[in-house]
A and B are shown apart, each in its own frame.
Chain A
Amino acid sequence: MSQRPALTARQAGLLSCHICGQLARPPATGGHALRCPRCNAPLHLRKPASLATTWALVLAAAILFVPANLLPMMTTASLLGTQHDTIMSGVVFLWQSGSWPLAAVVFFASVMVPLLKIIALVYLAASAQRRSRRQPLQRTRLYRLVEFVGRWSMLDIYVITILVALVQFQGLATIQAGPAAVAFGAVVVLTMFAAMSFDPRLIWDPLADAPHPEHPHD
């Protein structure tokens, strides 16, 4: 190896503040509840219990993803009768009524993004747990993508809010939100928390350690 190995803050025995970036050396005596000397934010070497928290939240999101897609998202009562719509039937309706760009947007934001987000987080957490050394840059980019697109899944919740509020023509047509709205909102919130609890530095940590794949996780 001709290249000088990259030194991380952890190897140098330093903690970096996640708010202001200040580097600090923890006292030799050890201790809990360390605070940043500059901005007083709590200091951690890595986000505490990062992988366990991510796993728990992703699992909960994956379970709720099922009712979110199977239960009705909204109920339309009109002169023509009562109609229950799931997320997918809403997409199909948009597609058939000719607004296919919008159908694509809703399908992407409401079905693909939550699903791919759950899969991506499982992959990130699993590979970090196995202390994989493969493709750290690609995995970091995947993490950034997950963090960036996650918020757009809230789209359907907002659509429902406006539809319910506007279509209140008693006797002509009313729209009510269905139980899937609660489940879907929970999926979005849980996956966002899951992405926040994952610490991307765990992707890079195995590269800094000696090449022992069986190295226990700390």
Chain B
Amino acid sequence: MLAPDAHPLLPADLIACHECDLLQREPALAPGETARCSRCGALLARNPPDSIDRSLALACTAAVLYLIANLYPLVGLEMQGRRVEVTLAGALHILWHDGMGPVAMLVGVTALLFPVLELLMILAVLVPLRLGRASPRLAPFFRLVRSVQPWGMVEVFLLGMLVSLVKLSHLATVILGTAFWAMAALIVVLTLAGRAFDPRLLWQAPTQTSAEAP
């Protein structure tokens, strides 16, 4: 394998915009500040305060909410004394046996599998970082997080549930289940976790732990 030169002569703060390729210096960021490309305005870097602790706390919360959102019924319907409640997995099961295999798979991947995969990958990166054991071996996990992220669509799924309930509301009584509220909270917590995480820590971490060494 050919390893390209890491280029020690380049200034360490030189970066290229990932959207327009412009070379520029990355400014030193105070906590809470963001850096944007001077030409196209793309987000270059953020410096969220207490990044590791906050994103780790939020990711753990999200994991609990994810469990609740998948174990309890999402929504229910009451019609002429009969009551139907579905969990996410139950809905996929019905769709699958309805001859809609591809659709069931698409929903399963975007609403069930990828959100949990993203969560596990975030934890797999954050826990070693918190323990001060950052290593290049974390990089593949981070790459997976990045490639999975666009395909987790919990928030769209929640809106979809609302639309379908409005459609049914004049036919039957609709019930919002425990999992519905857990999923609503999950969306908020996942968004906050994403905002709290600073990926630059992955590449800078080794120098951090020396300050805490006895």
Residues of A within 8 A of B (CB): 6-10, 12, 14-16, 18-27, 29, 31-41, 43, 93-94, 97, 99, 102, 105-106, 136-137, 140-141, 143, 147, 151-152, 154-169, 172-173, 176-177, 181-182, 185-186, 189, 192, 196, 200-201, 203-205, 208
Please report the C-alpha to C-alpha distance between residue A48 and residue B189 in the assembled complex, in whole angstroms: 35
Interface 1/0 per residue, B95-117 and A, CB below 8 Å: 10010101110110011000000
Provide the residues of chain A in CB contact with B136, threshold 8 Å. 38-40
Number of interface residues of B (CB under 8 A): 69
Provide the residues of chain A in CB contact with B211, threshold 8 Å. none
A16 and B21 within 8 A (CB): yes
Among B146, B202, B203, chain A packs the most CB atoms within 10 A around the CB of: B203
A41 and B156 within 8 A (CB): no
Provide the residues of chain B in CB contact with A97, threshold 8 Å. 170
B21 and A24 within 8 A (CB): no
Please report the C-alpha to C-alpha distance between residue A136 and residue B76 in the assembled complex, in whole angstroms: 49
Q: What's the minimum C-beta distance from A187 to chain B, rounded to whole angstroms?
A: 11
Q: What's the minimum C-beta distance from A212 to chain B, rounded to whole angstroms?
A: 19
Q: If A39-B203, A105-B163, A159-B160 touch, does A169 touch B82 (CB 8 Å cutoff)?
A: yes
Provide the residues of chain B in CB contact with A41, threshold 8 Å. 139, 143
Provide the residues of chain A in CB contact with B146, threshold 8 Å. 19
Please report the C-alpha to C-alpha distance between residue A105 and residue B92 in the assembled complex, in whole angstroms: 24
Please report the C-alpha to C-alpha distance between residue A34 and residue B21 in the assembled complex, in whole angstroms: 18
Q: If A20-B203, A157-B107, A166-B168 touch, does A205 touch B139 (CB 8 Å cutoff)?
A: no
A and B contact pairs by CB, cutoff 8 A, 5 listed: A8-B16, A9-B21, A36-B4, A177-B103, A181-B103
CB-CB nearest 9 A-B residue pairs: A158-B160, A165-B91, A9-B16, A39-B139, A16-B16, A37-B6, A162-B164, A31-B2, A8-B21
Q: If A41-B143, A162-B75 touch, does A205 touch B168 (CB 8 Å cutoff)?
A: no
CB-contact partner of B103 in A34, A160, A173, under 8 A: A160
Q: What's the minimum C-beta distance from B190 to chain A, rounded to whole angstroms?
A: 14
Please report the C-alpha to C-alpha distance between residue A208 and residue B21 in the assembled complex, in whole angstroms: 10
Q: If A105-B159, A155-B159, A173-B171 touch, does A18 touch B23 (CB 8 Å cutoff)?
A: no
Q: If A159-B163, A165-B86 touch, does A18 touch B4 (CB 8 Å cutoff)?
A: no
Q: Which of B4-55 contact A (CB under 8 A)?
A: 4-7, 10, 14-16, 18-23, 39-42
